[in-house]
Homo-oligomer: A and B are copies of this chain.
């Protein structure tokens, strides 16, 4: 493959994670140091930054400041949820992207995101090829949901998992401090795949976790759930439950909609929005058991708690961004950088592996059912073996006045 010289654009897309910036920084730093790449541009708010010619010059940032990206949560370049139409339907956006690529002599495009972002990469890559514009396109994955196909795991998942397991261990201690009864329901993100909720099992593995864990991979039966909670509560006086926001009944209806229905049947004040799944379940349990019940929604914290990120996740995320640039410069295009798990001297090791964008963009990886326990309300040792290596190591997030010192980019327009 001949050397391709030109500028690169790096963009970020989709929901935040604690380490998406570690990946972006891995790509930016490597690109800045690479001779084939003449200029490193950041697209503000993902592909919209390209469409709007809203690009910043990463070379104008102070290197020491830029390095803080590695430990800064959310997307430092801003994100978007803009979905490109297929070029068969409408070529406008693609033509505009090509125009911008030509304007800045962009020969490398790195897109840092989830499923949709890989789809965007894929479409752009194919359009450039069809139009004879030489450009190498690489996807750098991120998602707390861990649902991308092919790769052993996704950058971002482990840090969220570490935060969830840590928080559940702490909630466990809090929720049993009194000698009176207490039931706690913790709602965890993950609409279709139960990876995040499953990470609560790491707390249980440490003896400080939930009694019951419900993933969206298994049909949820409210009556059976109630009976189990009641039973554990009767035995222990305490019960902690972790539920995925995405649990559904056997007819495919979200349990979170039950509460909305209940409210909607009675009024039109929009009460459906009051409280989520945790509130609904807590309320149902309270009605049934009379116990003191608390519903907790981990909400945004689980995807942005950089202070509790996994060092393994940070380093792997950085490595993914770095590899994307190195592979592209070496001639690769149209691939997503992912991970392959191996062992070295009996220890977990993570290797970079490339995946075809088409496959990644259209598949969703769920928790294997054989990793659940027999009663489908917990995880077995296969999940623990999978997840535990990923959450190892602590962040070395820089602190200032006892608080995180997150990156402050100058964002000099290109």
Contact = CB atoms under 8 A, between A and B. Distances in A.
A301 B307 contact: no
A48 interface: yes
A235 interface: no
Nearest to A306: B170
A284 to B, nearest CB: 9
B403 A206 contact: yes
A317 B216 CA distance: 43
Given A296-B299, A301-B167, A173 B273 contact: no
Q: A interface, how many residues as a size bin?
A: 35 or more
Interface in A262-311: 262-263, 266-267, 269-271, 273-276, 279-280, 282-283, 286-287, 294, 296-297, 299-301, 303-308, 310
Given A203-B403, A263-B271, A406-B173, A45 B296 contact: no
B308 A301 contact: no
A208 B306 CA distance: 14
Contacts of A16: 173-174, 177
Contact of A392 (B170, B296, B401): B401
A15 B173 CA distance: 11
Interface stretch (A77-85, A243-251, A332-340): A77-85
A359 interface: no
A77 B263 CA distance: 42
Contacts of A266: 266-267, 269, 271
B270 A267 contact: no
Contact of A304 (B48, B174, B300, B399): B174
A171 to B, nearest CB: 5
A169 interface: yes
Given A166-B404, A274-B274, A402-B392, A175 B301 contact: no
A391 interface: yes
Nearest to A77: B177
A181 interface: no
Contacts of A262: 269, 271
* Interface hub of A170, A269, A304, A391 (most chain B Cβ within 10 A): A170
Contacts of A406: 169, 173, 208
Nearest to A392: B402
B177 A74 contact: yes
A297 B280 CA distance: 15
A367 to B, nearest CB: 20
A219 interface: no
A107 interface: no
A73 B170 contact: yes
Given A266-B266, A279-B275, A73 B174 contact: yes
Interface string A150-164: 000000000000100
A277 to B, nearest CB: 11
A108 B184 CA distance: 36
B401 A388 contact: yes
Interface of A: 15-16, 44-45, 48, 72-75, 78-81, 162, 165-167, 169-171, 173-179, 184, 202-203, 206-208, 259, 262-263, 266-267, 269-271, 273-276, 279-280, 282-283, 286-287, 294, 296-297, 299-301, 303-308, 310, 312, 388, 391-394, 399-404, 406, 408
Q: Which 7 pairs from chain A and chain B are nearest by CB?
A: A275-B275, A274-B275, A74-B173, A266-B267, A174-B304, A391-B402, A170-B304
Given A16-B177, A263-B263, A391-B401, 7 more contacts: A74-B170, A74-B176, A166-B404, A170-B304, A184-B300, A294-B300, A310-B402
